């Protein structure tokens, strides 16, 4: 009780503040999303994500090496597929020589210890821009899960360490786990986007991959932003089905969900600070309205403090440069 207890004593100077700080950010906290395109010598900036690029495989190698040298040890791969290769069933996703499969090999060849995680969903491959197969205007569940399982096996065969299903179909974690076991990939992990909300914050990402849904929206599979208990149910079911790591996505607007899930579960929890969150800060900083680095650190710290063990973030490099 005051004046015996004066809380400001622990805030007197920077030394004491760092001694009592509860949340410390390090390069080990991050998964780095990478966008890959076909071509040679391509490094193109994504319009709605200033400072973030799509790379062709040759330049991807330099980027991966530089991440590794910064202490960033895990990448999350996404590919931009030419329209001519898209169809309803995402057939190209299973191509053993497809862009994703070559990207996995490229990363593993240039940086063997880099942990490779791959996006598993049909949207970059779908002529409808949906995460699943479309039949009569509906996104069908079980047929989609079967393709996702084949896709996961294909990624594992190419050398992926973890597959990351981001589609929100029911039961896909179990279908994927069983397929990986059947094919002898018992060490390939699954990071499941367990509580992924139907969020308006994914806009810039869909620009990056040209993967916006061609009709309707994703509300029949991604979660309603209004819901809380459902997030815990989704996450617990994914853990029961064999998810090694679970995820909440997006980040900042969902930190209550992050904490609640963290209190319920015993597997590592990832949070995806998504493209729209990145774009908002970049835009405000460009206008001089927010202090980029200070706000970035505050946001990342908040995500970790809320309970994230891993953070997928487009700010990963910016953060590591700042703290090292
Ligand atoms: C696709 C996928 C999306 C993101 C990751 N995987 C977009 C979506 O569901 O429409 C979003 C990532 C971001 O916005 O940074 N399955």
Ligand 1 centroid – CA 4 distance (Å): 51
For 33-91, the pLDDT digits (tens) are 999 999 999 999 999 999 999 999 999 999 999 999 999 999 999 999 999 999 999 99
Characterise 74 by phi-psi region: left (phi > 0), alpha (psi -120 to 50), beta (else).
beta
Give me the torsion for CA of 148, 308, 217, 93, rounded to 10°.
Answer: -20
For 199-242, the pLDDT digits (tens) are 999 999 999 998 999 999 999 999 999 999 999 999 999 999 99
- What is the DSSP code string of 267-321? S-EEEEE-HHHHHHHHHHHHTTSS-HHHHHHHHHHHHHHHT-SEEEETTHHHHHH
Q: By C-alpha distance, which of 197, 103, 121 is closest to 164?
A: 121
SS3 label, residue 114:
coil
For 232-281, the pLDDT digits (tens) are 999 999 999 999 999 999 999 999 999 999 999 999 999 999 999 999 99
Pocket test for ligand 1, best of 52, 54, 121 (most atoms within 8 A of CB): 121
Counting from 1 in the atom list of ligand 1, the atom nearest the Cα of 274 is 15
Largest Cα–Cα separation, the chain? 72
SS3 label, residue 255:
helix
In DSSP terms, 190 is beta-bridged to 163
Ligand 1 centroid – CA 198 distance (Å): 10
User: Could you tell me if the CB of 29 is within 6 A of ligand 1?
Assistant: no
Kindly report the protein residue whose alpha carbon is nearest to atom 10 of ligand 1: 202
Residues 190 and 173: beta-carbon distance below 8 Å? yes
Cβ contacts of 285-294, under 8 Å, gap ≥ 24: 286/50, 293/318, 293/322
Helices (H), 194-228: 203-209
Q: What whole-number distance in Å separates Cα of residue 75 and Cα of residue 103?
A: 11
User: Could you tell me if the CB of 166 is within 6 A of ligand 1?
Assistant: yes
Cβ neighbours, 10 Å, residue 267: 16
Counting from 1 in the atom list of ligand 1, the atom nearest the Cα of 119 is 6
Ligand 1 centroid – CA 14 distance (Å): 39
pLDDT at 23: 98
For 290-323, the pLDDT digits (tens) are 999 999 999 999 999 999 999 999 999 999 999 9
Average pLDDT of the residues in 131-145: 97
SS3 label, residue 116:
strand
Characterise 41 by phi-psi region: left (phi > 0), alpha (psi -120 to 50), beta (else).
left
Res. 188 pLDDT band, cuts 50 70 90: very high
User: Could you tell me if the CB of 277 is within 6 A of ligand 1?
Assistant: no
> Which residues are catalytically annotated?
196, 249
Q: By C-alpha distance, which of 45, 111, 105, 106 is closest to 74?
A: 111
For 153-175, the pLDDT digits (tens) are 999 999 999 999 999 999 999 99
Q: What 8-state DSSP symbol labels residue 126? A: B
Ligand 1 centroid – CA 292 distance (Å): 24
Q: What's the whole-model pTM score?
A: 0.97
User: Could you tell me if the CB of 205 is within 6 A of ligand 1?
Assistant: yes
Ligand 1 centroid – CA 204 distance (Å): 9
What are the extents of the domains in the chain?
23-323
Enter the CATH code of domain 23-323.
3.20.20.70
Cβ neighbours, 10 Å, residue 284: 14
Pocket test for ligand 1, best of 79, 164, 166 (most atoms within 8 A of CB): 166
User: Could you tell me if the CB of 175 is within 6 A of ligand 1?
Assistant: no
pLDDT at 110: 97
């Amino acid at each position: 009780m005051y004046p015996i207890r004066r809380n400001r004593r622990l805030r007197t100077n920077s030394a004491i503040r760092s001694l009592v700080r509860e949340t410390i950010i390090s390069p080990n906290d991050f998964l780095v999303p990478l966008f890959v395109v076909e071509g040679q010598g391509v490094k193109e900036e994504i319009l709605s994500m200033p400072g973030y690029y799509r790379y062709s495989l040759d330049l991807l190698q330099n980027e991966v090496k530089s991440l590794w040298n910064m202490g960033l040890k895990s990448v999350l791969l996404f590919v931009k597929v030419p329209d001519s290769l898209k169809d309803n069933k995402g057939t190209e996703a299973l191509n053993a020589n497809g862009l994703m499969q070559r990207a996995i090999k490229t990363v593993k060849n240039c940086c063997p210890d880099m942990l490779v995680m791959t996006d598993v969903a049909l949207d970059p491959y779908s002529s409808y821009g949906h995460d699943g197969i479309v039949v009569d205007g509906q996104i069908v569940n079980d047929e989609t899960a079967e393709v996702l399982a084949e896709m996961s096996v294909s990624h594992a065969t190419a050398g992926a360490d973890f597959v990351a299903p981001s589609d929100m179909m029911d039961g896909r974690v179990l279908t994927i786990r069983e397929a990986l076991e059947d094919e002898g990939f018992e060490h390939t992990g699954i990071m499941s986007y367990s509580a992924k909300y139907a969020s308006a914050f994914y806009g810039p990402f869909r620009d990056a991959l040209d993967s916006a849904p061609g009709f309707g929206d994703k509300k029949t599979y991604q979660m309603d932003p209004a819901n809380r208990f459902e997030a815990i149910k989704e996450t617990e079911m994914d853990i029961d089905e064999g998810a090694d790591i679970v995820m909440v996505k997006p980040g900042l607007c969902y930190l209550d969900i992050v904490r609640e899930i963290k209190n319920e579960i015993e597997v590592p929890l990832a949070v995806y600070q998504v493209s729209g969150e990145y774009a908002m800060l970049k835009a405000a900083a460009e206008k001089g309205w927010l202090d980029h680095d200070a706000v970035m650190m505050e946001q990342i710290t908040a995500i970790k403090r809320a309970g994230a063990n891993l953070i997928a973030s487009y700010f990963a490099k910016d953060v590591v440069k700042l703290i090292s």
